[in-house]
Amino acid sequence: MTTTSAADVEQHTGGGDAAPSLRADNVTIKFGGLVAVNDVSFVIPKNGIVSLIGPNGAGKTTFFNILTGLYKPTSGYVELGGVEVTGRSPHKIAQLGLARTFQNIRLFNLMTAEENVMVAMHSHLKTGIIGTVLGSPRKRREEREARDFAAELLEYVGIGRTRYEYARNLSYGDQRRLEVARALALRPKVLLLDEPTAGMNPQESAVFTDFVHRIRDEKQISVLLIEHDMSVVMRVSERITVLDRGEVIAQGGPDDIRRNERVVEAYLGKSGTEQAGGAL
């Protein structure tokens, strides 16, 4: 055989028959004169765990906001499970299988943990306003199923005991878990976690890392994390993409990234190379 088919190339790049869960091609967004995300191309493989890292202000959260539909990119293309979602509404993109947590926890403080999870399911419930007013049997059944599923998810993330507590009374770590339960309520195919271990101690972070693996393995969900804690990034990620000033400066496995000079420089400047070796 003298020619290389597309299938051969796929094999070599690890593509095989599993299309990526999410793909972004040449995504750019400008805010006035600032190019916050510049020509970023990126893939979340099916059932992969990948991370997006980079110094503060690199454009990580902005890129998340494009993927989830909060921002419309100036140019570029985003595809979720083979369907183009560029510029679609967050609601629609969530329905198509993308769920997220926020860098700053966003929970309904005066709702219980269970209610916070149920609110997320609402778009999936079939009964409309008529069913609600009349309290139809179907409505009651859906409500009961939603409650059961919420309770199951709270157990799954390890905070079943908080079911009837107000979200604001939960510990910080438990609020982070509640956010994950709420994201899982959408039955997503892809889960985006924005700095999920922020504010956790090293032990809590380690537990969380294992938990991310469990979610992927047991629920067959692909995961993209933004993470500032390098020990978490290196432990959890199969592939890492590094952003600096809106641009991808490196992409690869943990060992490639740890040794990458541009990455070390981006984090600490040239003079900090030695120190960075330790940090990364």
Ligand X SMILES: Nc1ncnc2c1ncn2[C@@H]1O[C@H](COP(=O)(O)OP(=O)(O)O)[C@@H](O)[C@H]1O
Which C-beta is closer to ligand X: that of 31 or that of 108? 31
Residues 165 and 110 sit within 8 Å (Cβ to Cβ) = no
Q: Find the shortest distance in angstroms from Cβ 11 to ligand X.
A: 34
β-pair partners for 53? 242
Q: What are phi and psi of 58, to 5 degrees?
A: -70, -20
Which C-beta is closer to ligand X: that of 72 or that of 161? 72
**Token digits for 161?**
């005991």
Instruction: Give the type of residue at 5.
Output: S
Q: Look at strands 22-31 and 75-80 and give their pairing.
A: antiparallel
Select from 37, 45, 47 the least CA-distant residue to 67: 37
Is residue 209 part of the contact set for Mg ion (CB under 5 A)?
A: no
* Partner whose binding site includes residue 58, from Mg ion, ligand X, none (CB under 5 to 8 Å by kind): ligand X
- Letters for 1-40 (x = contact with ligand X by CB under 6 A, - = none) are ------------------------------x--x-x----
Q: Which of residues 35-64 bind ligand X (CB under 6 A)?
A: 36, 54, 56-62
Residues 202 and 29 sit within 8 Å (Cβ to Cβ) = no
- Letters for 197-236 (x = contact with ligand X by CB under 6 A, - = none) are ----------------------------------------
**Token digits for 229?**
């804690």
Q: Find the shortest distance in angstroms from Cβ 52 to Mg ion.
A: 10
Q: Find the shortest distance in angstroms from Cβ 65 to ligand X.
A: 7
Q: Find the shortest distance in angstroms from Cβ 54 to ligand X.
A: 6
Alpha-carbon gap, residue 152 to 130, rounded angstroms:
28
Question: Which residue from 21, 51, 61, 68 is in contact with Mg ion, where contact means CB under 5 A?
Answer: 61
Q: What angle do CA 141, 153, 168 make, to 5 degrees?
A: 100
Alpha-carbon gap, residue 60 to 54, rounded angstroms:
7
Binding site for Mg ion (CB under 5 A): 60-61, 103
Binding site for ligand X (CB under 6 A): 31, 34, 36, 54, 56-62
